[in-house]
Amino acid sequence: MLKIMNENDNFEELISEGLVLVDFFAEWCGPCKMLVPNLEELAKEYSIVKVNVDEFEELARKYAIMSIPALYLFKNGEVIDKKIGYQELDELQEWLKSKI
């Protein structure tokens, strides 16, 4: 599942159950755009939530997002790991498998 967060969503609910990969991104970010096909492929097996840092500045501050793309991995609502910058699909698949 790939979910782009909007103003009607509750972030805490979106990350509350199981393993959820959160992509903090911006529309103007080149590496963020390059990451989209990899996230779409991962979404076939994993829950992914995309959060636009320009629209959700309070979440970006809460998680101290300084560089994007920022990939935060949540398990049952808690951050368990993170990666910053563009990641190849195979690297992301190995990373997620190691966290299940």
Confidence label for 10 from pLDDT (cuts 50, 70 and 90): very high
**b vs e for 39-70, b when ≥16 Cβ sit within 10 Å of the residue's Cβ?**
beebeeebbbbbbbbeebeebbeebebeebbb
Domain ranges of the chain: 2-99
Structure confidence by residue, pLDDT tens digits, 52-93: 999 999 999 999 999 999 999 999 999 999 999 999 999 999
Q: Are 1 and 50 in contact (CB under 8 A)?
A: no
Give the position of tokens 């190995």: 94
Hey, what are 23's tokens?
A: 């992509």
pTM for this predicted structure: 0.96
Catalytic residue positions, numbered:
29, 32
Q: Are 83 and 42 in contact (CB under 8 A)?
A: no
Q: In the CATH scheme, what is the code of domain 2-99? A: 3.40.30.10
pLDDT at 17: 94
